[in-house]
Amino acid sequence: MRAGLNGQGTAVSWVGRLVGVGLGAALLWGGVALAEGPYDERAHYEQARFCPGRAAQVPSQSDCLRRGGGRVVEKYTDMGSRYVKLRWASGAERRYQTEGGNGADCYEDARRGSYAEMVTWRGKLMRFTVRGKTCHVSPHSDGALVLAALPGWAGSGLALACVLLPGRLLAHRPLLRFGAWMGLWGFGYFPAIQVVLGEAEFSWVWLVCVPGALLCAVLALVPPGRGETRIGTG
């Protein structure tokens, strides 16, 4: 009878793994579909060249880069983020968040009334230059890419957990180990996406995520100790 119960438990375990793999594959497919647009936009922007001729003669939604001009209205920080409000030649005013690191020099040099040379692409401001230093505007396709790729990354982690985590580990505290595995995958996401975006320099992301990932790896993958084994088999 015990053999029959063990066989039934094994069958249920494999059914659960198959369901998890299917759900993970669906999330991965959906994440790839969502990230395709932002990734394609980023790739096209990096390859874009300035429009020939006068900017006024080029449609605003063109794939080439358009130059324009404006003035700095004000700058300020809010919750650690840096913002610059610009007045376009048309008179319209709008604030923009500058990307961390890349926008620091431009932000420091920006003064009220300073001339800003603006570069737009597909109707969106991508960067502007003040006193010879450039600020990149955030978010554009990078922010969308970070959010869009997250479901696919989670799906791949779920599928790999169902395939790779051995039954002898999941037999002891399965929820803790499975949660730790997904935590490991989650902590690994942000350094990985920084590498994809070409921003792999050391930052607070690595400082937070690497220790968290190591802790989750220990909780997920280290076999149970002898005392825990006796408790589980007693």
Residue with more model confidence, 98 or 37: 98
Mean pLDDT of 89-103: 77
Mean pLDDT of 76-89: 86
pLDDT, residue 72, reads 94
The dotted CATH code for 48-139 is 2.40.50
pLDDT band at 82 (very low <50, low <70, confident <90, very high): confident
Residue with more model confidence, 56 or 209: 209
Mean pLDDT of 47-59: 69
> pLDDT tens for residues 214-223?
888 888 888 7
Asked if the model's pLDDT at residue 116 lies above 90, the reply is yes
Distance CA 226, CA 219 (A): 16
DSSP 222: S
Residue with more model confidence, 43 or 119: 119
- In single-letter form, the type of residue at position 82 comes to R
Asked if the model's pLDDT at residue 159 lies above 70, the reply is yes
Mean pLDDT of 93-99: 85
pLDDT band at 55 (very low <50, low <70, confident <90, very high): low
CA dihedral angle for residue 5, residue 6, residue 12, residue 15, rounded to 10 degrees: -140
- Which of these, 73, 92, 91, lies nearest to 83 by C-alpha position? 73
Mean pLDDT of 186-200: 74
Distance CA 155, CA 185 (A): 10
pLDDT, residue 2, reads 41
Pairing between β-strand 81-88 and β-strand 124-130 as defined by DSSP bridges: unpaired
DSSP E strands, the chain: 66-78, 81-88, 93-98, 115-121, 124-130, 133-138
Mean pLDDT of 40-63: 70
Return the percentage of the chain with pLDDT > 70, whole number.
76
Mean pLDDT of 157-177: 80
What residue segments make up the domains of the chain, in order of their start?
2-39+143-233, 48-139
Mean pLDDT of 47-64: 69
Does the predicted model carry a pTM greater than 0.75?
A: no
pLDDT band at 210 (very low <50, low <70, confident <90, very high): confident
- Which of these, 182, 167, 186, lies nearest to 220 by C-alpha position? 182
